[in-house]
């Protein structure tokens, strides 16, 4: 889906919110596993009282995660999303595991969008951050120039890379852990 069509779909979805070939690599190639994988293949997402842009970021993050073996649904329990003014923290988006299971998987993730920075972001930048933070909830770590030379993964840090997608390598890494 082109980002233009996706923006149109997000715009329609946001109205309801209230309060490049892929890398042909196996998960072992330059793996970028994060320390915490989701504890199950269905992740319930709670995102109430978000801004319109926050809702769009969640929509894109869920859309991308749903392309993997992890499925998202609206509900309470697995991924709690907030946007707010968190101050001069150095981060625009953040994902943390706030409840680790005995097997070292994550039972509950918390995703935050920092409006201190993101108020000046375009809708496309919000959607990139949503993809990136939801990628963390799928168990992905950051990508670098050596692991994403063609800038086609939203797991690259910074706003210079505006990819809204998880690339095939990202999806392979998630699927390897689910």
Section 106-133 average pLDDT: 95
Q: Where are the domains of the chain?
A: 3-18+35-177
More confident residue, 157 or 145: 157
Percentage of the chain with pLDDT > 90? Answer: 61
- Return the CATH number of 3-18+35-177, one of 2.60.40.1180, 1.10.287.70, 3.40.250.10, 3.40.390.10: 3.40.390.10
- Given CA atoms 76, 81, 85, 87 in this order, what sign does their dihedral have? positive
Given a cut of 90, whether residue 51 has pLDDT beyond it is yes
Q: Which residues of 38-73 are buried (b: 16+ CB within 10 A; e: fewer)?
A: bbeeebbbebeebbbbbbbbbbbbbbbbebbebebe
Output the pLDDT for position 98. Answer: 94
pTM across the whole model: 0.82
Output the pLDDT for position 22. Answer: 32
Residue 135 sits at φ, ψ, to 5 deg, of: -60, -40
User: Each residue of 17-31: pLDDT tens digit?
Assistant: 322 223 333 333 345
Percentage of the chain with pLDDT > 70? Answer: 76
Output the pLDDT for position 177. Answer: 79
Mean pLDDT of the chain: 82
Neighbours of 164 (CB within 10 A): 23
- State how far the Cα of 162 lies from the Cα of 90, in Å rounded to an integer: 19
- State how far the Cα of 156 lies from the Cα of 164, in Å rounded to an integer: 11
């Amino acid at each position: 889906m082109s980002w233009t069509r996706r923006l149109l779909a997000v715009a329609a979805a946001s109205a309801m919110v209230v309060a490049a070939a892929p890398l042909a690599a196996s998960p072992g190639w330059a793996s970028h596993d994060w320390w915490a994988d989701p504890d199950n293949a269905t992740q319930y997402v709670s995102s109430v009282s978000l801004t319109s842009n926050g809702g769009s970021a969640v929509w894109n993050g869920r859309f991308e995660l749903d392309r993997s073996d992890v499925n998202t649904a609206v509900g309470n329990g697995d991924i709690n999303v907030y946007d707010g003014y968190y101050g001069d923290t150095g981060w625009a988006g953040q994902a943390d595991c706030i409840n680790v299971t005995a097997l070292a998987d994550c039972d509950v993730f918390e995703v935050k969008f920092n409006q201190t920075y993101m108020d000046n972001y375009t809708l496309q930048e919000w959607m990139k951050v949503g993809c990136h933070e939801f990628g963390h909830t799928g168990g992905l770590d950051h990508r670098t120039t050596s692991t994403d030379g063609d800038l086609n993964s939203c797991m690259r840090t910074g706003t210079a890379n505006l990819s809204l997608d998880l690339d095939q390598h990202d999806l392979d890494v998630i699927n390897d852990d689910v």
